[in-house]
Each structure stands twice: as structure tokens, then as C-alpha cells.
């Protein structure tokens, strides 16, 4: 609020109060807004309640709701088709990475692999023999071995080597097929759903297990649009779950998805839970949670009762019960423009916009400000429920 607009507001209030005072009886206050004051006949004071101002801390926060989700989940399927011989995990089981979940009946494939491995050994031996023969032919020289025979030996060695290479590749292919006939856990996880049945036939790519990672969980909070620009990564978050008795966790906001949900028009705040955040893994995927997110924390500033703030579109004002310059005179009203830094419950941290009587230990008017004007004499009594720093 500018000084000019604030001064106009004060003059208007002063005129209204002067007009009201002109019709009051000298020693009475029929409206209950003031009381006789000591001094000349007709002296009048406005009845108000005041509360002391002290420096303190205010933490402004908002309440949000959200859900626990697994940051890593997967639908597991075999990479080839086959008949399921055995299933090694049930729904609800917790398994470690690499644990066998199900296996195909691969007796025929195992026999093919065994034969291919034996053939590969034989072909390696043939390739080594052919290579030795080629070297011996080169050592004999043209007087013992004709160039044609030497070329033949070299060709035999190359063919044998190529055959051994192809057979080694066939062994690796069969080993890979056999490996794909056993489904293993890709990470430490819990079995959420099991579709695999012993003796059943599984098609390549058709899910047979759904698994979730309980060590990598997130809380997705619903953030209204009006708070999206006020929440920053690193903000303190206090989590609690209605369905988990006594659960409470203080952590930080990891981030905010920078796009609103088209249906709800809300943004998603992300809280990532590490192993140390919930070692007992009480927050299971799907649980509903409540969160208190700290928007701002102000320390060392003046804290006043929220009810003492006079707010309008032009700004915010506090009325301070200022000691009168004349000895024995009642305190008078001093209007102080302020900026609200943060709110917490019925408290607000404020900063005066200009030097003045608003300082640590000052008394601010909580009730009875309706008819006050700058310099109005006050009959102040302590507010019945002062909400100040430290209370």
C-alpha cells in the first residue's frame, strides 16, 4: 500500500469516527466501543485488546494427499515359447535378484546342446589337425610337396577352422535358448501376480509374473495448481499414513512433474523413499498417505496474531498501541503497513515496510480495530488468547 492511498484511508476513517464521537454522550459509551478517559470532560478511549509482539519462527505449510507407488515394476515373460515344467515362486513371495521363478521342460533342447558341444569338440580337433598339416607342408618345401598339395592342405585347414567356428556358434545359440527357458527375477522384488502354471504352455512375450520393487518406492502427491510454483525440490515433507498406526516420516520433496494432469488439473509432487527412509517397508504400494509440505520457514522475524492483520486489496496494516508522548495520557493507535512473510495456524511472520513503533515487545491491537484511526486514544486490555511467538 502506498503512503498516499494509506493516508486517504486513514482520513476517511478519522472523519467517520469524529462524526460518531460528536453524537456520543460525554461520560457514556452506549455502543460498547469505548470508555470515559481521565482528563477533560468528554475525553474518550476506544476499548481494544492487545497482544505482545516477539521475534520467532513461522513455518508455512500445506496439507496434501497422495499414494505410494513402486518406482520399478515389471511384467515378466519368457523370451520363447515352451511347456512350463516347474514354478518356483508364489504370489506374495519376496525374492532376490536372479532367483529362479519358473522353468521350461527343455529335456530335448538339453540333449541337442549336449550333442552340439561334443560335435564342437570334435571339429576343433579336426581344425587343429588340419592346421598342423598345413604347417608341415610349408616346412617340407616344394621338393617334397607340390604347390597343389600345399594349397589343398591350406584349404582343408581353413574349412576345418570355419566349421569349428560355426559349431561353436551353434552351441552358443542352444545355450541361449536353454537360458531363455528359465525365468529369473530381474531385481529384488515381490510377486504381485502369478499366471504361470506347471504343465501349462507359455507363449513368447506373454506375461507370467508381475513383480514390484519394494526398495524403490515413491509417494506421488496431488499438488493444486495454485501451489505448483511455490513448491521447490528439497522442501521438507512430513508423511503419515492413516492405515499404518503411528507411522511418521520426515523427508524431502524430490521434484515436481512440470505438467498438470488433464483430468484433475493437479500436478504431481515426487517423494522418493530410500531404504533408510522406511527400512521396515511399511509404506506398501497402493497405500493412501497424507503429507505436510513446508512452503517456507521464516526465523528471527516479528510474529503477530493473524487476527491482528487488517488486509484489503491495497495492502496489510497492523495497529500498534503506541505510548503517548504526554505523561499519563493513554496509548494511541499507530497504523503500520507490513508485509506478511509466512503464516502458520493463527500466527503470521511480518516485516514492517518502514521504520516505526512495530518492534519486539510492542503491543498490537487484536480486537476493536473497526473504528480506530491514527492517533485514536486506546483503553487496552490483554487479549484473552494471545497467539505470539513462543506460545
Find all residues with CB under 8 Å of 149, minimum gap 6, and list them: 137
What CA–CA distance (Å, rounded) separates 391 from 345?
A: 12
What CA–CA distance (Å, rounded) separates 268 from 65?
A: 10
| Cα angle value 274/230/273 (rounded, 5°) | 5
Residues 35 and 258 sit within 8 Å (Cβ to Cβ): no
Residue 54 pLDDT more than 60?
yes
Nearest alpha-carbon partner for 213 in 128, 94, 123:
94
Q: What is the pLDDT of residue 64?
A: 96
C-alpha separations of 230 from 61, 211, 270 in Å: 11, 36, 15
What CA–CA distance (Å, rounded) separates 22 from 44?
A: 11
Nearest alpha-carbon partner for 387 in 349, 358, 357, 352:
349
286: left (phi > 0), else alpha (psi -120 to 50), else beta?
left
The values of phi and psi at residue 214, to 5°, are: -85, -15
Overall CATH class of domain 3-56+299-382: mainly beta
Residues shown for the chain: 391
Residue 241 pLDDT more than 80?
yes
Q: Which three cell numbers mark 192?
A: 504381485
Find all residues with CB under 8 Å of 90, minimum gap 6, and list them: 191, 194
Report yes or no on whether pTM surpasses 0.75: no
Nearest alpha-carbon partner for 389 in 328, 317, 306:
306
What CA–CA distance (Å, rounded) separates 207 from 76?
A: 5
What CA–CA distance (Å, rounded) separates 103 from 184?
A: 9
Residues 189 and 71 sit within 8 Å (Cβ to Cβ): no
What CA–CA distance (Å, rounded) separates 76 from 122?
A: 39
**Right CATH number for 61-72+214-297 from 3.40.50.620, 2.40.30.170, 1.10.3720.10, 3.40.50.2000?**
2.40.30.170
Residues 341 and 349 sit within 8 Å (Cβ to Cβ): yes
Domain-by-domain residue ranges, the chain?
Answer: 3-56+299-382, 61-72+214-297, 73-101+184-212, 107-180
Which residue's C-alpha cell is 503497513?
337
Read off the pLDDT of residues 342-376 as tens digits, 9 standing for 90 and up: 999 899 999 999 999 999 999 999 999 988 999 99
Percent of the chain with pLDDT over 90: 73
Let me know if the fold of 3-56+299-382 is the same as that of 73-101+184-212: no
Kindly indicate the confidence band of residue 143, based on its pLDDT and cuts at 50, 70 and 90.
confident
Percent of the chain with pLDDT over 70: 87
Kindly indicate the confidence band of residue 261, based on its pLDDT and cuts at 50, 70 and 90.
very high
Biggest distance spanned by C-alpha atoms of the chain: 149
Read off the pLDDT of residues 68-123 as tens digits, 9 standing for 90 and up: 999 999 999 999 999 999 999 999 999 999 999 999 999 999 999 999 999 999 99
Residues 23 and 330 sit within 8 Å (Cβ to Cβ): no
Read off the pLDDT of residues 312-330 as tens digits, 9 standing for 90 and up: 889 999 999 999 888 888 9
CATH number for the segment(s) 73-101+184-212: 2.40.50.100
Residue 139 pLDDT more than 70?
yes
What CA–CA distance (Å, rounded) separates 241 from 65?
A: 10
Q: What is the pLDDT of residue 27?
A: 35
Element (DSSP H or E) covering residue 90: none
DSSP state of 307: G
Q: What is the pLDDT of residue 184?
A: 96
Amino acid at each position: 500500500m502506498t503512503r498516499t492511498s494509506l493516508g486517504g484511508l486513514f482520513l476517511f476513517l478519522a472523519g467517520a469516527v469524529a462524526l460518531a464521537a460528536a453524537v456520543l454522550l460525554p461520560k457514556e459509551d452506549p455502543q460498547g466501543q469505548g470508555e470515559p478517559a481521565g482528563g477533560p470532560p468528554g475525553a474518550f478511549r476506544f476499548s481494544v485488546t492487545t497482544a505482545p509482539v516477539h521475534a520467532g519462527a513461522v513455518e508455512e505449510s500445506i496439507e496434501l494427499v497422495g499414494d505410494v507407488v513402486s518406482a520399478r515394476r515389471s511384467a515378466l515373460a519368457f523370451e520363447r515359447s515352451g511347456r512350463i515344467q516347474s514354478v518356483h515362486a508364489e504370489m506374495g513371495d519376496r525374492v532376490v535378484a536372479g532367483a529362479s521363478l519358473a522353468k521350461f521342460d527343455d529335456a530335448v533342447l538339453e540333449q541337442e546342446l549336449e550333442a552340439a558341444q561334443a560335435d564342437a569338440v570334435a571339429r576343433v580337433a579336426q581344425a587343429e589337425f588340419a592346421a598342423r598339416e598345413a604347417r608341415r607342408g610349408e616346412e617340407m618345401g616344394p621338393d617334397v610337396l607340390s604347390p597343389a598339395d600345399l594349397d589343398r592342405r591350406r584349404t582343408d585347414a581353413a574349412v576345418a577352422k570355419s566349421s569349428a567356428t560355426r559349431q561353436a556358434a551353434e552351441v552358443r545359440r542352444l545355450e541361449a535358448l536353454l537360458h531363455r527357458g528359465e525365468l529369473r527375477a530381474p531385481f529384488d522384488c515381490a510377486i504381485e501376480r502369478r499366471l504361470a502354471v506347471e504343465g501349462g504352455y507359455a507363449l513368447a512375450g506373454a506375461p507370467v509374473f508381475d513383480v514390484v520393487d519394494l526398495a524403490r518406492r515413491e509417494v506421488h502427491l496431488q499438488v493444486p495448481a495454485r501451489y505448483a510454483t511455490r513448491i521447490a525440490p528439497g522442501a521438507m515433507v512430513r508423511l503419515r499414513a492413516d492405515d499404518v498406526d503411528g507411522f511418521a516420516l520426515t523427508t524431502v520433496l524430490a521434484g515436481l512433474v512440470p505438467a498438470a494432469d488433464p483430468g484433475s488439473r493437479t500436478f504431481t509432487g515426487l517423494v522418493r523413499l530410500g531404504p533408510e527412509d522406511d527400512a521396515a517397508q511399511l509404506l506398501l504400494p497402493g497405500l493412501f498417505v497424507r503429507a505436510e509440505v513446508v512452503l517456507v520457514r521464516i526465523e528471527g522475524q516479528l510474529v503477530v496474531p493473524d487476527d491482528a492483520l487488517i488486509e484489503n486489496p491495497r495492502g496489510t496494516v497492523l495497529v500498534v498501541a503506541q505510548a503517548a508522548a504526554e505523561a499519563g495520557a493513554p496509548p494511541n493507535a499507530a497504523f503500520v503497513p507490513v508485509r506478511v512473510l509466512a503464516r502458520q495456524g493463527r500466527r503470521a511472520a511480518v516485516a514492517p515496510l518502514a521504520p516505526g513503533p512495530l518492534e519486539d515487545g510492542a503491543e498490537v491491537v487484536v480486537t476493536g480495530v473497526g473504528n480506530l484511526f491514527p492517533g485514536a486514544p486506546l483503553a487496552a486490555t490483554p487479549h484473552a488468547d494471545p497467539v505470539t511467538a513462543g506460545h
